[in-house]
Structure 1
């Protein structure tokens, strides 16, 4: 059953990122139709992140209170409805408002994913599980991007929003009907439940003093909050901002970069832009498998968990190579290597489970994801200003510098991780 749940989480993320990226595909034609400047486009791209970041801590608290099932249903249904409404906009202000709405409803999503996996998977399998579900954002975009471009070309950007939104509404009902935590799931066997609990999965039983008796939920206090801002947690928060920075360049400005800066035609862009996503997918899968295998080989958890992240952030620096070539093949090669590195580094959710207090995983995940969400605000806006005169070279330098800061954070701030003490 845990692999069925993993498949459901995978599909959730595919839909989630499809609804984040559809605006970037629609933007060239949409901007022309309603008259948006590059600065306004940057604001549209970042609007999602404004409220998404602000709602991470409240979303984490609600997640700890109500669980993944109900919170995910509300989120998925809500952002999908906002997506459908985007088909009917006619001005900058309307689109801004709806992108804020998408960000509001998507806020609990990534902490909810992490919570579901923490409940369903033992520690020894969690790295691979996180790697698999994290890869959904890249694999889903790799295969859906050409399809989304085809939909756009067939029925326009308004039809694109309608179709992607309706898919999410239907899936939200399926999720609510099927998903529960392990101890409430009618399909899980006793052996599997015992296995995941013995392996360190977080279940309702962790709060039981005895059969039928539950520990009262600990109240949030300053002492608890201090546990969420240790040096190592601060280090992974900084790292998450850096990793998300590269991702948000690809999720927002990448199609415009190919069409406007490198003069690649629209349909060719739809095909070429899927290649870096496939590379990132390979990076995520490889990171999770290697990390878990290193643990089983007896390597230190610090080395096994951090090595893919640091290596990936350093590989991201190769995005600068695209500044010095004009061939579409070489441009996509540099972009693909950089995004492969970004995928390799995306296993970082494993640090939330490893370093955060068990009773505050939802809140810690909210803070962690909120730091990543800050990049969804900063990166699109800064790039919008940097490319206002049509030059993307400085934008790629900016992305590379952020990635370098992330690598330095994991090396010098996070330091050695001792899972036995944490």
Structure 2
């Protein structure tokens, strides 16, 4: 008697995309910690080196000058040569330049300002491919229904970096000296570059991905072959395509919104720890731990914003509703930062800052929007343009607040400057950006 045949059960889906996301998160955590090194070490360094608030403002802004200039070239390099090579080199070089800042204390006179500016500039240039690289990896490894959460998780690393590293860096300054911050963080980044090189590849080529996971990613719109050699060779950078991206009203609104959101980001990673020491009278050790509280709330808000957005997408089927709703809620909460100008108690300032950065985390969906809207063959460059707009805030914010503090002797005007940009973000997304959808490029002949 013939035995009935039973159908073979499909193999369970592998979960390699989550390990890739964890790696992106760790790299981005180190990325933001390296941006914040001088803000943690800044008060001790400024006293040691005799730096004025205006000089500090320019040194703190140096990163963003280069970061902005490097965005479009960095995105083009990613599209041309792939994420693995360009991103690995970026991690290695920004870590080396971070480490070199530890030697700046051995230079005297006006050369100190020039040296620190140059090294911070070099860090910014090296980091410029990082977030466009993150956007490319998320677009390749995640289906659309998971992209909001994935983007929110890697973006929330900017908050987690201070949760993890602000206390450590504050302890290093307190226990050793401010030079040690740069040596430790630079060395950690070099180790991260080696790990990144060994792990990252295209989903289609990765040995840890089975067919079930690959089909799941591809069925949801994941660009699984983005990192293959054929895909990178077909990437086309030309100014006709750039003009189409810059001519999209939808993307212009997103770009302006990212500038406004990043004003909060750059206040937090440049002046905030210095504000706690100079305006609120905390010790550098206490400031390191105090800075971690709003950062933790920003991290929670960042993850929550992505989850809410993806749930809204599943329920409504509308990217516009899914991405804009958390953004509106988050920016309203972030505007609370203005209240800190009128609060006397330091503990209450930390609470309000925590609320503001929780809101900022919820609203930080810009990279998900870029993954949703960028032309398929132009994600690296579009992400670079997006980050160019966004990180002009890194030039403007440290310098403007430096002048405000120098002129008034207070951070109150700086808090108003930051808070008003929350209103700008809401205006950009709701008055300029219309429907959120993927942009399709037209050929130059058409």
TM range (shorter): over 0.9
Per mean C-alpha deviation after superposition, the further-off stretch among 294-303 and 7-16 is 294-303
**Match in the other structure for 1:348:** 366
**Match in the other structure for 2:131:** 110
1:144 to 160, 165, 189: 165
1:254 to 1:224, Cα distance in 2 relative to 1, 3 A: same
Deviation, structure 1 residue 214: 7.1
**Match in the other structure for 2:263:** 245
2:60 to 45, 49, 63: 45
Distance 1:224 1:20 in 2: 31
1:396 to 403, 412, 415: 415
The alignment partner of 1:156 has SS state of coil
Structure 2 residue 337 is the aligned partner of structure 1 residue 322: no
**Match in the other structure for 2:432:** 413
Contact 1:309 / 1:348 at 8 angstroms: preserved in 2? no
Runs of 4+ in structure 1 displaced over 6 angstroms? Answer: 205-208, 213-216
**Match in the other structure for 1:223:** 240
Deviation, structure 1 residue 205: 7.2
The runs of 5 or more residues in structure 1 that have no matched partner are none
**Match in the other structure for 2:3:** none
Deviation, structure 1 residue 298: 2.3
Aligned positions of 1:16-415 closer than 5 A: 16-89=31-104, 90=107, 91-204=112-225, 217=234, 219-229=236-246, 230-298=248-316, 300-388=318-406, 389-415=408-434
TM-score, normalization by structure 2: 0.90
Contact 1:301 / 1:419 at 8 angstroms: preserved in 2? no
Deviation, structure 1 residue 217: 2.2
Larger Cα-atom Rg: 2
**Match in the other structure for 1:7:** 22
Distance 1:222 1:106 in 2: 23
Contact 2:236 / 2:378 at 8 angstroms: preserved in 1? no
Deviation, structure 1 residue 221: 3.7
Contact 2:202 / 2:226 at 8 angstroms: preserved in 1? no
1:169 to 1:96, Cα distance in 2 relative to 1, 3 A: same
CA deviations 1:246-300 (Å, max 9, x no partner) are 1100100001111111222222212211111011111111110011011111252
TM-score, normalization by structure 1: 0.95
Distance 2:368 2:271 in 1: 28
Distance 1:277 1:215 in 2: 37
The alignment partner of 2:204 has SS state of helix
Deviation, structure 1 residue 33: 0.9
Deviation, structure 1 residue 313: 1.7
- How many residues of Structure 1 are paired with residues of Structure 2 in the alignment? 418
1:175 to 1:326, Cα distance in 2 relative to 1, 3 A: same
